[in-house]
Structure 1
Amino acid sequence: MWDERYADKEYVYGTEPNTFLAKHADKLNGPVLSIAEGEGRNAVFLATGGLDVLGVDGSEVGLQKAQQLAQSKGVNIHTEVADLAEFTPKENHYGAIISISAHLPPAIRQRLYPLLERSLKPGGILLLEAYSEDQLGKETGGPNNIDMLMSKQKIENEFPNLHPLLLQELDREIHEGKFHTGIASVVQFIGQKKHNK
């Protein structure tokens, strides 16, 4: 499905970064792991700020567009085609992890999220924005499946080892290409891995 969606010449979610990420990018240190990176808009934005970024996605087509976008902006990003159901990030390696609209089934989250926590360095930051359960039935983006939508409760349960610097649900205006447009209900989370005692 994703190869098909990204086969469009246009960048289907635009080339500008997610605004929540852009607002808090100054909190992030490299190297950065971006899961479900798609066509590269967030990885390229972070690379223009001087960060070393690895974008992981299941779509080769999306990541080829990500590399083209990086080239057009004069920056380098690393990309890896991987199924998030099987992807294992390096342990204790990343200064930051970003998850923007990475809507995953519960079984994949239960396997992946503990690995993401483990792959952060002490003091590292995980920044996540996803559609919330309140988005169900709205036509402005996100999956039509409540299990793949997020909530504050799910975040607290699924990232137990991260200290929440910010955790909120809100409605906000989103303009990200043709598939994410209009008023949307989202969960925003910035969690920090505790420093080793």
Structure 2
Amino acid sequence: MWDERYSDENYVYGTAPNTFLAEHVQMLQGPVLSLAEGEGRNAVFMASHGLDVLGVDGSAVGLAKARQLAQRHGVTIRVEQADLASYVPPEATFGAVVSIFGHLPGQARKRLHALVERSLRPGGIFLLESYSKAQIDRDTGGPKNLDMLVRREDIEREFQACEILLSQEIEREVIEGQFHTGLASVVQFIARKKAP
């Protein structure tokens, strides 16, 4: 499905970074793991801020476009094709992990988030924006499967080894290409890995 979506010559979610990420990029330190990176807009943005970024996505087509976008912007990013439902990030490696609209079924998300928390170095930042369960009846973006949408309290529970810096469910205008456009209900979350 994602290879098909990304086969469009246009960047279907645009080439500008997610605005929540852009507002908080100064909190991030490398190396950064960017989950569900797609066509590269967020990885390229972070690389343009001097961060070493690894973008992971299940779509080879999306990652090829990510490499092209990086080249066009004169930055270098690393990419890895992997199914996030079975992906295992290396332990205690990343200064930050970013998840922007990286929706998985609930059990797969919990599994990945446990591994993501483990993959952060002490002091590392986890930053997430996802569509909330209240998004289900809107046609402004996100999966039409309630199990793939999130609640703020679920994300908080999944990062017990982190200090929560920001956790909120809000409505905001999301303008990101043709598939994320309009008023949306989102969860925004930032946490810092505690020292052992």
Q: TM-score range by the shorter chain?
A: over 0.9
Match of 2:195 in 1: 195
Instruction: Determine the structure 2 residue equivalent to 1:31.
Output: 31
Instruction: Say whether residues 1:108 and 2:122 are aligned partners.
Output: no
Q: Residue 119 of structure 2 aligns with which residue?
A: 119
Letter in structure 2 aligned against 1:76: T
Name the residue aligned to 2:141.
Answer: 141
What one-letter code is carried by the residue in structure 2 that aligns with 1:7? S
Q: Which residue of 2 aligns with 1:99?
A: 99
Deviation by residue 1:150-172 (Cα, 9 ceiling, x = unmatched): 11111122222221100000000
| Sequence identity (%) | 63
1:46-95 CA-partner distances (Å, limit 9, x unpaired): 00000000000000000000000000000000000001122111100000
Structure 1: runs of 5 or more not aligned: none
Aligned to 1:79: 79
Match of 2:59 in 1: 59
RMSD: 0.7
1:179 matched residue in structure 2: 179
Equivalent residue letter for 1:123: G
In terms of mean alpha carbon deviation, does 143-152 or 17-26 score higher? 143-152
TM-score, normalized by length of structure 2?
0.99
Q: Describe how 1:137-176 pairs up with structure 2 within 5 A.
A: 137-176=137-176
3-state SS of 1:67 partner:
helix
Q: Could you tell me how far apart the structure 1 residues matched to 2:143 and 2:44 are?
A: 25
Taking the aligned partners of 1:132 and 1:110, their CA distance within structure 2 comes to 15
SS of the residue corresponding to residue 150 of structure 2 reads coil
Q: Where does the alignment leave 5 or more consecutive residues of structure 2 unmatched?
A: none
